Amino acid sequence: MDRLLSMELFVAVVERGSFTAAAEAHGLSQPMVGKHIASLERRLGGRLLARTTRRQQLTELGSHYFQRCQSILAEIRAAESGAELISGAPRGVLRVNASVTFGSLRLAGLLAEFMQTYPDITVDLSLSDELVDLVADGYDAAFRIGRLPDSDLVARPLQPYRMMVAAAPAYLARKGVPRAPADLAAHDCLGFSLWRKDDGWELLGAGEWARASRFQSNHGQALRMVALAGGGIVLQAEALLGDDVAAGRLVEVLPGCLPPPKPMHLIYLQDRRPLPKLRVFIDFILERLGAL
């Protein structure tokens, strides 16, 4: 067994919580991951993980070994980064974070093009609507929508993130077409639960707010599907709803009352000499998504 790979798999099992997740992350089968862990346990002469049918936890030996493996692998990555700086070739794993909607609908396709352009770079894309800590979570770069807090991070402006209000033709035929924000009081406005809980949508005109109704979700795709089924009016990103509006599956309403487009930035750590993999990624994104 490749001892270094075995250590990487052991750390992945602990960090990701299961053999299955570690196997998927490394493109291996679950039995193969198990063989690597068993090989480590034979070499160390003790169990690393106490496993039951429902969960697993580190043994005392496993906890100590896990910490040492993390340190060793971090040193290896640092050594590889140093070699990459010397060679100047864009290579290695690029860890990127983005929101679920933007990441899945806009960014993923661009990353496929990016990897074709730079075949020695591997991309690990994490999608989450929660803010991440680039340092603590180990990301090379992240995409942020909305106003940025003051920080030491570099923030490169990108094209604004536009929103859209829409509903299915069947819903509008049943409930009527709102002509002003005040009309939304008589409608089912689908709520995005990651926005502020006390308020709904801030729309332009008369200072009106639309309150969330009988359905809310923390996922834009779920809201889109309910809207397509005639369940209410949805406020989501143009990237999510634009194709449905163009195809007639949804109808845009209140276009003159939309909130201003949200600013969007590519953020990364300050570094006088960023790694080539990050440098070419920044140039690639700015060329395609940079502010006009």
What digits encode the pLDDT tens for the residues 70-118? 888 888 877 776 666 656 788 889 999 999 889 999 999 999 999 999 9
Write out pLDDT tens, residues 16-48. Answer: 888 988 898 888 899 999 999 999 999 899 999
Give every CB contact of residue 89 below 8 A, 6+ residues apart in sequence. Answer: 120, 276
pLDDT score, position 233: 93
Residue owning tokens 């990897």: 115
Amino acid at residue number 125: L
- Which tokens sit at 46? 């003790």
* pLDDT given for residue 77 in this prediction: 78
Distance CA 240, CA 237 (A): 5
Q: Are 235 and 167 in contact (CB under 8 A)?
A: no
Question: Packing angle between helix 220-228 and helix 238-247, nearest 10 degrees?
Answer: 20
- List the chain residues with pLDDT less than 50: 197-199, 206
